[in-house]
Amino acid sequence: MGMPFELNTMIVTKGREKRVEENLFQLEKEGYRLYPIDIPIDVRKTIESDTSGTAVIKKVEWQNSSTSITYQLISLNSTN
Amino acid sequence: MGMPFELNTMIVTKGREKRVEENLFQLEKEGYRLYPIDIPIDVRKTIESDTSGTAVIKKVEWQNSSTSITYQLISLNSTN
Amino acid sequence: MGMPFELNTMIVTKGREKRVEENLFQLEKEGYRLYPIDIPIDVRKTIESDTSGTAVIKKVEWQNSSTSITYQLISLNSTN
Amino acid sequence: MGMPFELNTMIVTKGREKRVEENLFQLEKEGYRLYPIDIPIDVRKTIESDTSGTAVIKKVEWQNSSTSITYQLISLNSTN
Q: CA–CA separation, B48 vs B57, rounded Å?
A: 21
Q: What is the pLDDT of residue D70?
A: 98
C neighbours by CB contacts (3+ pairs under 8 Å): A, B, D
Alpha-carbon span B42 to C4, nearest angstrom:
25
Q: What is the predicted pLDDT for the residue at B80?
A: 46
Contact A37, A57 (CB under 8 A): yes
What integer pLDDT is reported at residue C79 of this predicted model?
A: 57
> How many CB pairs lie under 8 A apart between chains A and C?
37
> Exposure of D80 by Cβ count < 10 A (0-12 exposed, 13-18 middle, 19+ buried)?
exposed
Using the predicted structure, report yes or no on whether residue C80 has a pLDDT greater than 50: no
Up-side HSE of residue B41: CA atoms within 13 Å toward CB? Answer: 26
Interface test with A, best of B5, B8, B38 (most A CBs within 10 A): B38
- Picking from D38, D62, D47, the residue whose alpha carbon sits closest to that of residue D10 is D47
What confidence tier does D67 reach under pLDDT thresholds 50, 70, 90? Answer: very high
For residue A48, give the nearest of A79, A12, A18 by alpha carbon. Answer: A12
Chain D CB within 8 Å of residue A36 CB: yes
Distance CA C16, CA C61 (A): 17
- Put simply, the answer to whether D38 touches C63 (Cβ < 8 Å) is no
Hey, which residues does D64 pair with through a beta bridge?
Answer: none
Is any Cβ of chain C less than 8 angstroms from the Cβ of A30?
Answer: no
Give partners of B (≥3 CB pairs < 8 A): A, C, D
B79 has pLDDT over 80 = no
- pLDDT at res. B77: 84
B2 CB neighbours in chain D (<8 A) are 6-8, 33
Residue A4 · residue C6 · CB < 8 Å = yes
A14-73: per-residue pLDDT in tens?
A: 999 999 999 999 999 999 999 999 999 999 999 888 888 999 999 999 999 999 999 999
Q: What is the mean pLDDT of chain B?
A: 93
